[in-house]
């Protein structure tokens, strides 16, 4: 039987620019984290679709190649030695509690990852475009759908809402 993964403070679903920055920020704040991505490399669409394209709207850079931006972001994020699980599709998100504290388990095709909180950083490529299934936040308020009391905001409006609806179904909230 395979041993259970360590509980992390934050599990970030998506290792594109938003996920990489989330991992960097978690490390800066002393939080343990892991990244999970369906792709086989970090960088999301920047790496997968247009690594040779210049990006003009990144603070501090008049223009930067997508692959160079990802290289710098990965170097910045991984200085804290967080594990990254690539080529793993998230199949389920389970919600429970341990010692009265919220606990999530992210289930992929290969493993189950326990976490105290989840940050969904799935870009537009991870979702089918469509309208938000529920305009009501699960808890809290704010643009981008706050997902549950112990999760953080995510990017990409309708994608976030799709994940929020799935989490709502799995948690009963």
pLDDT at position 101, please? 77
pLDDT at position 19, please? 95
pLDDT at position 97, please? 81
Distance CA 108, CA 36 (A): 9
pLDDT at position 160, please? 52
pLDDT at position 128, please? 44
Taking the domains of the chain in order of start, what are their residue ranges?
10-125+150-155
Distance CA 96, CA 101 (A): 8
Mean pLDDT of successive 10-residue segments in the chain (173 residues)?
79 95 95 95 91 92 95 96 94 86 89 93 60 41 37 44 58 56
What single-letter DSSP state applies at residue 109?
Answer: S
Residues 10-125+150-155, CATH architecture: 3-Layer(bba) Sandwich (3.50)
pTM of the predicted protein model: 0.72
């Amino acid at each position: 039987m395979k041993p259970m993964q360590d509980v992390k403070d934050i599990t970030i679903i998506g290792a594109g620019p938003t996920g990489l920055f989330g991992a960097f920020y978690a490390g800066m704040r002393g939080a343990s984290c892991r990244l999970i991505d369906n792709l086989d490399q970090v960088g999301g669409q920047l790496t997968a679709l247009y690594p040779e394209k210049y990006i003009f709207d990144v603070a501090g850079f008049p223009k930067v190649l997508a692959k160079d931006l990802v290289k710098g972001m990965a170097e910045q994020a991984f200085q804290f030695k967080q594990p990254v699980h690539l080529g793993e599709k998230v199949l389920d998100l389970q919600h429970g509690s341990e010692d009265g504290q919220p606990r999530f388990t992210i289930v992929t095709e290969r493993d189950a990852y326990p976490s105290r909180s989840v940050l969904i950083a799935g870009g537009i490529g991870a979702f089918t475009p469509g309208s938000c299934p529920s305009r009501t936040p699960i808890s809290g308020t704010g643009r981008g759908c706050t997902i549950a009391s112990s999760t953080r905001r995510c990017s990409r409006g309708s994608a976030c809402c799709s994940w929020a609806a799935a989490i709502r179904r799995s948690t009963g909230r």
